[in-house]
Every structure is written in structure tokens, then in C-alpha cells.
Chains A and B, each alone.
Chain A
Amino acid sequence: MLNRHTAPPATTAARLHIEEPKTIHLANGLPVYCFCNNSYDAMRLDLVFDAGTAFQTKKLLASTTNNMLKEGTQKLTSHQLASRLDYHGAYLDLSVNKDTAWMTLFCLKRNLNYLLPLLKSMLVEPGFGEKDFEHLNSKQKNEFTVNSQKPKHLARREFNKRLFGEQTPYGQTAQLDDFDNLDTNDLKAFHKSFYHHANCRIIVSGPVDDRMMHKLGENFGDQWGNPGEVTGFDQQTSFQAGYHPIQRDGSLQSAIAMGKPMVSRAHPDYTGLMLLNTILGGYFGSRLMANIREDKGFTYGINSQLVSLRQAGYLQISTETGQQVTQAAIAEIRKELIRLQQETVGPEELELVKNYITGSLLRSLDGPYAQAERFKSILGQDIGMQYFAEILQKIKNTDTDQLQHLAKQYLDPDSMLTVVVGEK
């Protein structure tokens, strides 16, 4: 008789086996990290710069400079560049976060020879044409305007400002007027300072061979750009806890962003906090989801994130709830935070979350492109891929008393900032 009641035995990986990328340095010292894997036809190439928003002296400068790299070079118009990229099957992602800026290329192996010099040209001789800039800027401004009507975006912006301090590198938050304060001279200056070989790291993944490495050296191994010293930034966080509602008339839902500054990766408490955060709101079965979505039906989704930047860390709980249940939802979030402080997490739940995290890490490191993505997130922090194996071990070794201790120390709801965007 088939027993459908009992779960079949399941195992959890005891440890993660992960290899460091193969590292070489080009003639100019530029490091190239390879996740070589011949099972695939497709390549991924990441060019990463320490050129995130924290480095900018004017708002929107970092992201606009980065986005403009795709809007033509000194040799090709915006249209010509776009056509050539498309013709050679290139998928290009240009983006920034607070610490870094990157250009990520996906293409077939056979197209890389053509695309490498094109990418190089985009990086060293971008067009920064006036018309192209006007077009991009107005597009971004329009997107900003639309986003300004989305409760989630408004909540996030306000949260970011108050979490770090509006005048700080991490806390600076763009407003509509800022789009009118940019010009191409600003972009050229930022580009000159930050987009050069001494401020660049390359990650290449997929079927990388010697010929390809040679081509990379040919294109990116010279003294490209203007290698002066990159001006760093100093994040001096200015945080105040408190409750901040923002009116948005006619809102059917409220967006809530709640959290506080936290320690970052280097701190000994960090791995325990990763585990604690997962229990709180880091997976579908979390305390917040189980209560606020699955039990109360207040929301389509609620989660908590623990984020580690280069110079700071933070916790952010986010959700969009029905208008009429906003305060009730906040009360439940507070309840869950307090619960973690007052009760220890039971052995079954703890084991479940540890197993889930193991699976999740395995999944996020599956294959060369996923590994490249993970590696990109730890660049410039003096850690390698072994870091992921190590944190898994530490998480597995964290016990329930340690978790409660961390909750008491870090999760007091009254120590948090709460931003609510919705009908008053």
C-alpha cells in the first residue's frame, strides 16, 4: 500500500563545493575572472567599474553616464550601434547600484570576436551626443514620473533617504528637478574619472578558451581611459527611527517599507542575521508571509531583505497591503519581530530553513553564469567564492539561542524606521 502521508527521505548537502574562478591579469593589470564551462554555446561577459551612485557628486550622474554608453560612440550613431549589437545577437545590460556600475553582455561564442572591439569603443570613445542625451534624459524623466505614482517606489525612495541620511553618498535620492540639472559635460567628466582600465574588473563565463582570453587581452589589456585616482566616498550614515506616512490620494493599497541600518558582511554577526532574516521574511514560508499573507490575506506578498553594501548594511521589510488593513499589517510585522525576540525558533522550523538556504545557495551557484552573477556581487570586498561555502557552514552551525540573542540585539521594532505611502 502506497504511503502518501509520509515524506520520502530527503537529504541536504553537507557542504557546498565551489571553485574559485581562474584569475589572470592583463598586461595593464586588469583582473579577468573566468568561470569556464564548455557545456554551453553562450557567453556572458561582465565589465564592472567602481562607479556606482555613491561616487557621484551630482544626482543621476552615475546612472546616466552608464546608460549613455549605449547611445552611440564617436564612430557610430545611436542607431548604428543598436543595429550592430542586435545584428550580432548581443543582449547588453547596463546598470548601476550604489557601489558599482557594469556592462554585461550575453552573446553566442561565435559573435564575441566582433563584439569585443565594439564594447571597447563604447567604453573609451562614447558619443555623449547632445541629441542622444536629451532623448535619454527625457525618457528617464518620464519613467521617473510614472514611477513616482507607484506606491512601492515612493516608499522605497523615502526609506532610502531616511535610512542613510539624505546628504550622504548612499542616502542621496533623486527628485524630478535633478534631471534638468545634468548636462553632457558632467557625463564626460564622470566618464573620464571612472571608466578606465585601472577601475575595471572583468568576469567572463561560458566556453572560454585561450583564443578568447587572447582577444580579451588584445582589446582590454592596453592603457585605456584616463587612469587617474578614483575619488572614493565616505558613508557617514545619519539614521533616525520613526514613523513617516506619506499621503497618496485614492490609493487602494499602501506600500510599507520598514527597517534600519545593520552590520555588513565583514561583521561576525552577519551570517546569523542572514539566517534570522530568512526566518523572518526571506522565503515563502517565512514568519511574515505565513502571518500577513497566508493567514490574514492582507497582501499579495511581503518579504524582508538583509543587504550588505561596501560601506554599510541594512534590513528592509517591504509589502503592499490593502488600504484598510495597513495599520493591522504593521501591527503584525511588529508582533513577528517581537516574537523572534521572546521565543526561540523550534528545531523543526530551524532545520527547514537551513535546508531551504542550502538548496537556495546551490541553486544560485548553478552553472557558470549564475556563479558570475554571485561573484560580481562580492567583487572588491576581498572575498572569493569560498565565502559562500563558509557562510553555509556558519549558518548550519548557528543555534536557536544565538538567533534569539541576535533578534534581541537587532530586531527591536521601535529601533526601526517605518515609511507608509497611501491614503491617510
Chain B
Amino acid sequence: MIQFESFTLNNGLRFYVHRDTTTPMMAMNILYDVGSRDEHPDKTGFAHLFEHLMFGGSINIPRYDEPLQRAGGENNAFTNSDFTNYYLTLPVDNIETAFWLESDRMLNLAFSKKSLEVQRQVVVEEFRQNYLNQPYGDVWLLLKPLAYKTHPYQWNTIGKEIAHIENAVLEDVKDFYARHYNPNNALIAITGNVELEQVKALAEKWFGPIQPGLKPTRQLPAEAAQTEKRHLEVERHVPLTAIYKAWHIEARNHPDFYATDLISDLLGSGPSSRLHRQLVRKQGLFSEINAYITGDIDPGLFIVSGKLMSGTDPKKAESAIDKELEVFKNKPVRLQELRKVKNKVLSALAFSSISILNKAMNLCYYGYLGDANMVNQLADSYRAVDADQVQAIAKSIFNDSNASTLYYKSAQETTK
């Protein structure tokens, strides 16, 4: 149970406060309601590039990192398709330093040309390092546009292509900031040995004076229902051929979410799971195989991904996956198997509610989904999933007309 209190400032900024007396540290997590789904299709990679720029100095504070380090603090951030998340931890005695820093960069950024130039380069290197210069690095650059034709999830957070990042100009960046980085577009969680009144006073002092902006209305083109199987094959310089299959699933807030998550565990999370047992150990078709869901807020994807044993025909391997899914659809899962995956989840939930940073992140995330208290209902939500629900959802997801498949073929294998 994460006990917490919440309040909202006049400018719309939402706060969550959780008291944890067992630690000398505190965490502050700030979630801004802007992700790569909010980008223009010709100017992608912005939300993420912007995250980098947030560290280039704010209007009154030339450098963000140094004063935080001086106060014994550490910070980081991440961007995904749905939102941008900043977090820091520092000794609780220095709580005001956190408020001073975060409020200033919500107030206004320094916006220097130099900062943009450097971070553009840094992000280009990130693109190369993680997506282009690694084996299997560009899988998602291929899979997403295959599965999504209209919804902005079709491009990755890093951007559609390097050129979009290279062409970003300061005006675009300033405009992006003005639209999205406002108090009424953010949620903040504070966890640690803090008092509610103390946090309220600091919130009012540092964030209170910041004017709200025009809350951008999000009107994203919905992804039309897929009606036909999609297929893409590419050849790359990798040692093993890999297969990626994606099916459309419901949105995060849909009641099917928890059952769908458990389906991915039943099918492909670890050596006791179905796909591993059948396709890796028994049939020897795959060297490794996994199943997971993307967890996006708008309707996301269910993914099965695996690397084939050398010499295996991808068509044969894909058939084998489909066959296992048919078995799964047609026979209700046994109680013990369902209980197994639930127990694993319950264990993981217990561990995730230990660190003050995790707690702060979760409060913001579930607050963002609509109700921060959802974090305390997760265990029950998973417990409530039954075999009938699992079977019904499997039947609705695992159909060819809903599937996109990528054969990521090894050029080395082909030349053998």
C-alpha cells in the first residue's frame, strides 16, 4: 500500500505526496503530458530531443546538474510515445534545491543555440549507438510503421530518421516548450520523509507563480482496424535470423489490460513459459523467444520475438508460433498455470513498491492514467483475471488479420 495525499495548485499543477520514514533520501518525479505521439510526422524525435534540452540551463539557473550534484543529488529522464518523465533523488534535507531547480525549468528554459547544436549531435550519436550500430538495432524502426499506418505510434521516440533531428531549429523547440511544458500539463510526486504541509508550502512558493498555458487538446488520428495480415522481410548483417510478430491490443485503461499482460507472461516470459518450452526446448526451432506487451496508453501491441536456431526456415518457425497460439486460444489455461504467472507478478509488485523513486514514478504514472490510487489496486486487478477472460482475449487478438510479421534475416545465413 502506498499511502499518499494529493493537491492541485491554482495553475493546474497536480501533486502527490507519500511519506516514507525509512530512508534519508527523497525522490521527486515530474511527468509532462507530451510524448512522441504528439509530434508532427515531419518533425519527429522532438519530444526526446527536447528532454535533452531541458538540461541545458533554465532562465535563472545556467546549469541544472551542478547545483543538484552539489546537493548530493542525482537525476535522469526518459521519453516514450506517451509522456516525458524527469526524476531526481537527493538527501531529504535538501528538498528545497529540488523545488528550485524543477520550478525554474518549468518556468522557462535558457534556449541557447549552442545547447541545441550539441544536443542534436548527442541525440544523433544516441540514434547511431542504439538503433543503427547494433545488431537488431533497427527492428522497431521497421516494426512500428508496419503495425501502425495512421496513429503516431508509427514512429519511434528517437525519431523516424536522423534528418528530422539534424534539421530541428530553435524556433520549433521554443514553440514545443510553450505548448507542452506548462504546470497544467504536468504531475509531480514527492516521496520520502516529508510532511504534507511542508511540501504544500514549497509547491506554492516555487511552482505557484508559474502561469498555466493553453492545455493542448490531443486529437490523434485513431489507428483504423487492421483487416489483413502484414508481412515484411529485410536482410541484415546479423548472425541469426529473427522473427517479430505484433498484434493490436486494447488501450492501457481498457479492462482487458491485466489479462493481456498475463497472457504475455503465460506465453513468453522465461523458461517455464509455453513458447519457450515448445519452440526452444522441445522443437528446437528457436534459440530464444519472448512475449510482451508494449504498455502504451493508446491501443498498443502484443509482441512475440525470437531468434531462430541456425538453419531454421522462418516460415516454419512462424507456423510453429501460430500453432501454439491456436492451442492457447482453444484450451482454457489451467488454474495452476494462471496462478503461477500471477504469483510472479505479485512478487514483482511487492519489490516495486520499495524504492522511493519507483513509488514517485508510479504515483505520477497512475495519476496520469486518471487515478493515482490504481497503484494500490494492481495486485487485485491481476488476481481478478480468470481463465475465461484469458481465452476470450486470446481469441480476439491472435488472428492473421490483426498480425504484422517481420522476418529479420541474417545475411550471413543466406550466403551459407
Could you tell me which A residues sit within 8 Å of B by CB distance? 2, 4-5, 7-13, 37, 39-42, 70, 78-79, 82-83, 85-91, 106-108, 111, 135, 138-139, 142, 145-146, 148-151, 250-253, 283-285, 293-300, 320-322, 351-353, 355-356, 358-360, 362-363, 366-367, 369
Contacts and interface: CB of A to CB of B under 8 A. Distances in A.
Interface string B7-48: 000000000000000111100000000000000000000000
A86 B270 contact: yes
Nearest to A140: B287
Interface stretch (B182-190, B235-243, B255-263, B382-390): B235-243
Contact of B69 (A2, A138, A283): A283
B94 interface: yes
B104 interface: yes
Interface string B74-96: 10000000000000011101101
Contact of B122 (A42, A88, A151, A293): A293
A283 B107 CA distance: 27
Contact of B239 (A12, A79, A145): A145
Contacts of A39: 22
A284 B68 CA distance: 11
A253 B80 CA distance: 25
A177 to B, nearest CB: 15
**Interface class of chain A by DSSP:** mixed
B281 A367 contact: no
26 contacts: A4-B103, A7-B67, A8-B94, A10-B71, A10-B96, A78-B281, A79-B272, A82-B270, A82-B271, A90-B347, A142-B307, A146-B135, A146-B239, A146-B307, A149-B135, A150-B134, A252-B128, A253-B133, A295-B118, A296-B118, A297-B117, A320-B125, A322-B128, A351-B70, A366-B23, A367-B355
B225 interface: no
A21 to B, nearest CB: 17
A299 B135 contact: no
B72 interface: yes
B222 interface: no
Contacts of B343: 86-89
Contact of B107 (A4, A285, A322): A4
Given A4-B104, A89-B343, A362-B91, A42 B72 contact: no
B250 interface: no
A320 B129 CA distance: 7
Contacts of B280: 135
A138 B284 CA distance: 11
Given A10-B93, A366-B24, 20 more contacts: A5-B60, A7-B67, A7-B100, A8-B96, A8-B97, A85-B272, A86-B270, A91-B351, A108-B347, A139-B288, A148-B239, A284-B65, A285-B69, A295-B118, A298-B125, A320-B129, A360-B74, A366-B23, A367-B22, A367-B23
B300 interface: no
Range for the number of chain B residues in contact with chain A: 35 or more
B366 to A, nearest CB: 20
In order of increasing CB-CB distance, the 4 nearest A-B pairs are A359-B72, A297-B121, A89-B347, A82-B272
B232 interface: no
B346 A108 contact: yes
